[in-house]
Amino acid sequence: MMPRTELLKDIIADLRMAASFVTILPVASSKPAGDGAVARATWALPVAGLLVGLAGALVYKMASRFGLTPNLAALLALATTALITGALHEDGLADTADGLGGGRTRERKLEIMRDSRIGTY
């Protein structure tokens, strides 16, 4: 059985890896990730997503308390999550739309989706 301190260090390392994978926040170790580090940290990806969502919810709640309209508060919350994630999900959605709307064959659609020079980001 693993000692508690080692287990806690592994949990923290996984959380940092997951947060660095889905955000632009500088939370990961300065040394390169070892083999299988991202795969080992996949359990922590929902936790990282929850933290990003909570940040957006907090901004929405604060904006509502300051009397902003629900639409404006939602826009600020969306902008917050886009800033934290580097617009990762928005870019993926745009790539999907580009691919589905831009290619005639399956191969061309996938090529468009994979091309980083095409799209909104």
pTM summary value: 0.74
C-alpha span between 72 and 63 (Å, rounded): 8
Q: pLDDT digits over 59-103, tens only?
A: 999 999 999 999 999 999 999 999 999 888 777 787 778 777 877
Q: pLDDT digits over 28-56, tens only?
A: 766 677 778 888 889 999 999 999 999 99
Half-sphere exposure of 16 (CA within 13 A, CB side): 15
| Closest-CA residue to 24 (of 57, 60, 48, 2) | 48
Q: pLDDT digits over 7-35, tens only?
A: 898 899 899 999 988 898 888 766 677 77
Q: Are 86 and 23 within 8 A, CB to CB?
A: yes
C-alpha span between 81 and 75 (Å, rounded): 10
Q: What is the CA radius of gyration of the chain?
A: 18
The DSSP string of 90-110 is HHHHHHHHHHHHH-SSHHHHH
Sequence ranges of the domains in the chain: 4-86
